[in-house]
Amino acid sequence: DVKVTQSSRYLVKRTGEKVFLECVQDMDHENMFWYRQDPGLGLRLIYFSYDVKMKEKGDIPEGYSVSREKKERFSLILESASTNQTSMYLCASGAAGPEYNEQFFGPGTRLTVL
Amino acid sequence: AQSVTQLDSQVPVFEEAPVELRCNYSSSVSVYLFWYVQYPNQGLQLLLKYLSGSTLVKGINGFEAEFNKSQTSFHLRKPSVHISDTAEYFCAVIVPGAGSYQLTFGKGTKLSVIP
């Protein structure tokens, strides 16, 4: 059974803290993604990675960075958390290929920044 | 660039009644289309997808969707809903091709099934 896990389901941090959100997949997928989900806005892509140490900006990368040192792990970093980064964060992974391959999602991390 | 519009943010429906969740897209090129479901406190799960071929696509849990190119729509339907269908549903598109990664999502439709 395919599996994408995220390190925390709920996280509470203070403004200015450095925050790490971790995502691990066990499907040997090349592609990994970080999305942010907000009520009434749907899912918006923050960053994605198509290989180890490779990354591409999505639609809303400001205030975030990412790290992919191993194929199975993709980290989202908030260098200095702010209250407007309070949100649900979803990680996904998918195989590479000539066309499209399905993205599999983790359960999400609900981050609250106080 | 492509975009997705889900016309209803919330849809209440009685148990065993039919339901249609509407999705329209905008794109200057051909796209692949998807419906995802998110149950409370869970991640997204793929319900169904249209890549090519028959315009009527059947998915899991009794859902189906019809691709209408002339109306640029991909509406999701179920003839008889259950309480367990209460969830948020997202329509998404992607432009197919080598190196194609980015899904564009609609803002979601919350389906509430009333007993």
Contacts of B98 (CB under 8 A, 6+ apart): A98, A99
Over residues B43-54, the pLDDT tens digits come to 899 999 998 888
Name every chain A residue with its beta carbon within 8 A of the beta carbon of B108. Answer: 40, 42
pLDDT grade for B98, boundaries at 50, 70 and 90: low
> Does the pLDDT of residue A75 top 80, yes or no?
yes
How many angstroms separate the CA of residue B112 from the nearest CA in chain A? 16
- Per the CB < 8 Å rule, is B102 touching A48? yes
- Mean pLDDT estimate for chain B: 92
Phi/psi of residue B85, each to 5°?
-80, -5
Name every chain B residue with its beta carbon within 8 A of the beta carbon of A9. Answer: 41
Whole-angstrom distance, CA of residue B51 vs CA of residue A23: 28
Whole-angstrom distance, CA of residue B56 vs CA of residue B113: 24
CB hemisphere CA count around B105 (13 angstroms)? 26
Phi/psi of residue A77, each to 5°?
-120, 130
- Per the CB < 8 Å rule, is B107 touching A50? no
Which DSSP letter does residue A102 get?
A: -
Over residues A83-113, the pLDDT tens digits come to 999 999 999 998 877 666 788 999 999 999 9
> Does the pLDDT of residue B96 top 90, yes or no?
no
- Per the CB < 8 Å rule, is A43 touching B32? no
Whole-angstrom distance, CA of residue A52 vs CA of residue A55: 8
| Nearest-by-CA chain A residue for B9 | A40
- Per the CB < 8 Å rule, is A44 touching B105? yes
User: Of A47, A49, A59, A100, which to mutate for an interface test with B (greatest number of B Cβ within 10 Å)?
Assistant: A100
